[in-house]
Amino acid sequence: MPDEMSRRLILERGDGGARHFEDAVPDLSSPVIGILGTGDFSRSLARRLVASGYQVVVGSRTPTRFVALFPEEAEVTTQLEAANKADLIFVAVYPEHHSTLMDLKQTLAGKTLVDVSNSLSINHKGPSNAELLADYFPGSFVVKGFNTVSAWTLQMGARDGGRQVFLCSNSQTAKNLVKSICHRMGFVPVDMGLLSSSLEIENLPLYLFPSWRLPVLCMLILFIFFYLYNFVQDVLHPFITQHKGAFYKMPIEVVNVTLPSVALVMLALVYLPGLLAAVLQLWSGTKYNRFPNWLDRWLTSRKQLGLCSFLCAALHAVYSLCLPLRKSAQFINMAYKQKSMEDFSVDEEVWRKELYLSVGIMALGLLSLLAVTSLPSVAGTINWREFSFIQSTLGYCALFMATVHTLFYGWNHAFVLARYHFYMPPTFVLVLVLPFVVLLGRAALCLPCVARRLRKIRRGWERNRHIRFMLPAEDCCNGVEDVSNV
């Protein structure tokens, strides 16, 4: 079956200069589609419907004014005539103007009305625009849909936009009719149930990254904390104790030390909730207990946390390229010039720098792989086992490599008292706490006795049910307290 969205919508001119759509052949057996409204969405919708082979009639209060803006295959007429001719009508007018269509109440009775409107702000209380439209026209069958599809997507095709169209209605027949239109236009309808779900559908285009708020806020808080911490140690401390001005470090060097700190902590926060969930399942002996709300929200934010970590790591790489490389070159030259055993400390410093750079590059590579596979277009091409291997096994490898990168960077500075400015430990010491906790927790869950019990729980085994079945009959009569104490 050919893809309907592959049909071109670009207007072309023939020999006589007349405009036409390629493959736009009306299907006389299809229902006549009416559109009430002449805005951008109405024009794009008319073009898409014409290209899909539908007969389209557009209703306008001033048809002669807008006839040139629609394809020639679509008939532009009055609203009353369009309502009479159409079998299904798209109501593409602002919701505050729905009351102006009351003159068409008798004409629209028994017909399907598709409400494509959106609100100007998120509406939590209701009623929705679709429900108000149903109140205006109780004799019609109202379907909510196409409000999440932009005019650009309608005109250019679902290949350049989302393919999903959310639908809801109290009439299953009317909803099935709109579903068939969606399929023919190349979209994928998603049934959201009754018309009471229309409020949720109308709010969808108005949300501004709802799943990103917590991860971005966490990233900003960590960045501010580590930036101020590094500012005190690298800028403020030499200024107070040695009267050296190092404020020039603030734009690049302090930021470059802060970014990897945030990236590593954020990456540890990706895998910490999974460990906590495993501990709760081991503690309760079942997988059927609901996680606390804070943990449930944390688990659903892991993808965004990982992408924020990748952003900080990528920025760290860019900032590192902007820093002068004279220190590394200086150490390398000194290592080659000095040949005595007295220069072992210089050679050690060169090896330290080379190792932490190499491990850091590998950690960034693994983190890039995690970020790429989290994209829906890539995740859809691999099976669940492959996705789990990349996000879990390689994810822990990325966390381990990033931790080793930080260890090579810090080297033995954690044991040098002079590094504790204002009695504050070096930044990398604070950064390593959470990754060490996560890696040790993961290692503990990999122990055979723990892993075997966790695997049984996740396959449906329950400790209390197992104990109840294994106890003798006389012990089962002692009550629940005896079982819970086992």
The pLDDT tens digits for 106-150 are: 999 999 999 999 988 888 888 999 999 999 999 999 999 999 998
| Final residue before a domain boundary, out of 152, 181, 206 | 206
Q: For the chain, what is the domain count?
A: 2
| Final residue before a domain boundary, out of 206, 231, 264 | 206
Q: Is residue 449 part of a domain?
A: yes
30 pLDDT higher than 90 = no
| Residue type at 119 in one-letter notation | S
pLDDT on residue 8: 43
pTM: 0.75
Q: Is residue 78 part of a domain?
A: yes
Q: Is residue 474 part of a domain?
A: no
Can you state the percent helix, strand and coil of the chain, rounding each to 5? 65, 10, 30
Q: Where are the beta strands (DSSP E) in 163-307?
A: 164-169, 188-191
Comparison of pLDDT for 405 and 349, the residue scoring more: 405
**Region 161-173 average pLDDT:** 89
User: Do both 260 and 188 map to the same domain?
Assistant: no
482 pLDDT higher than 70 = no
340 pLDDT higher than 50 = no
Rounded Cα gap, residues 26 and 24, in angstroms:
6
Q: Answer yes or no: are the C-beta atoms of 474 and 467 closer than 8 Å.
A: no
The pLDDT tens digits for 322-335 are: 876 545 444 445 44
The DSSP H or E segment spanning 175 is helix 172-185
The pLDDT tens digits for 384-428 are: 999 999 999 999 999 999 999 999 999 888 888 888 989 999 999
User: Do both 104 and 119 map to the same domain?
Assistant: yes
Q: Is residue 419 part of a domain?
A: yes
Rounded Cα gap, residues 400 and 441, in angstroms:
13
Q: How confident is the model at residue 274 (pLDDT cuts 50, 70, 90)?
A: very high
Distance of CA 337 to the CA centre of its chain: 53
24 pLDDT higher than 70 = no
User: Do both 300 and 441 map to the same domain?
Assistant: yes
Q: Which two tokens stand for residue 62?
A: 């001033």
Residues in Cβ contact with 130 at an 8 Å cutoff, skipping those fewer than 6 apart: 115, 117, 142, 143, 144, 168, 195, 198, 202
The pLDDT tens digits for 425-459 are: 999 999 999 999 999 999 999 999 999 999 999 89
**Region 52-66 average pLDDT:** 94
Identify the three-state secondary structure at position 1: coil
User: Do both 269 and 197 map to the same domain?
Assistant: no
Rounded Cα gap, residues 116 and 113, in angstroms:
10
13 pLDDT higher than 60 = no
**Region 314-319 average pLDDT:** 94
* % of the chain residues with pLDDT over 90: 67
**Region 35-46 average pLDDT:** 94
Q: Which domain does 281 fall in, by range? A: 212-330+346-459
Q: How confident is the model at residue 375 (pLDDT cuts 50, 70, 90)?
A: confident
User: Do both 286 and 433 map to the same domain?
Assistant: yes
Nearest by Cα to 140 from 112, 101, 99: 112
Task: Compute the C-alpha angle 159/2/29, nearest 5°.
Answer: 110
Comparison of pLDDT for 465 and 81, the residue scoring more: 81
| Residue type at 158 in one-letter notation | A
Q: Which two tokens stand for residue 423?
A: 């009695």
**Region 179-186 average pLDDT:** 94
User: Do both 363 and 304 map to the same domain?
Assistant: yes
**Region 362-376 average pLDDT:** 93
Q: Is residue 47 part of a domain?
A: yes
pLDDT on residue 475: 44
pLDDT on residue 159: 61
User: Do both 326 and 424 map to the same domain?
Assistant: yes
Q: Is residue 337 part of a domain?
A: no
pLDDT on residue 269: 97
Comparison of pLDDT for 20 and 297, the residue scoring more: 297
pLDDT on residue 316: 94
Phi then psi for residue 168, to 5 deg, are -155, 150
User: Do both 276 and 424 map to the same domain?
Assistant: yes
**Region 295-305 average pLDDT:** 95
Distances (CA, A) of 198 to 136, 163, 195, 453: 16, 19, 5, 45
User: Do both 92 and 229 map to the same domain?
Assistant: no
| Final residue before a domain boundary, out of 175, 206, 237 | 206
Q: Is residue 430 part of a domain?
A: yes
11 pLDDT higher than 60 = no
User: Do both 82 and 155 map to the same domain?
Assistant: yes
Lowest-pLDDT choice from 226-230, 338-342, 369-373, 383-387: 338-342
User: Do both 258 and 389 map to the same domain?
Assistant: yes
**Region 35-60 average pLDDT:** 94
Question: If you write DSSP's letter for every residue of 234-249 in order, what string do you get?
Answer: IIIHHHHHS----GGG
Q: Is residue 15 part of a domain?
A: no
User: Do both 189 and 324 map to the same domain?
Assistant: no
pLDDT on residue 12: 41
Residues in Cβ contact with 95 at an 8 Å cutoff, skipping those fewer than 6 apart: 117, 119, 129, 132, 133
Q: How confident is the model at residue 484 (pLDDT cuts 50, 70, 90)?
A: very low
Task: Provide the CATH number for the domain around residue 101.
Answer: 3.40.50.720
Identify the three-state secondary structure at position 127: coil
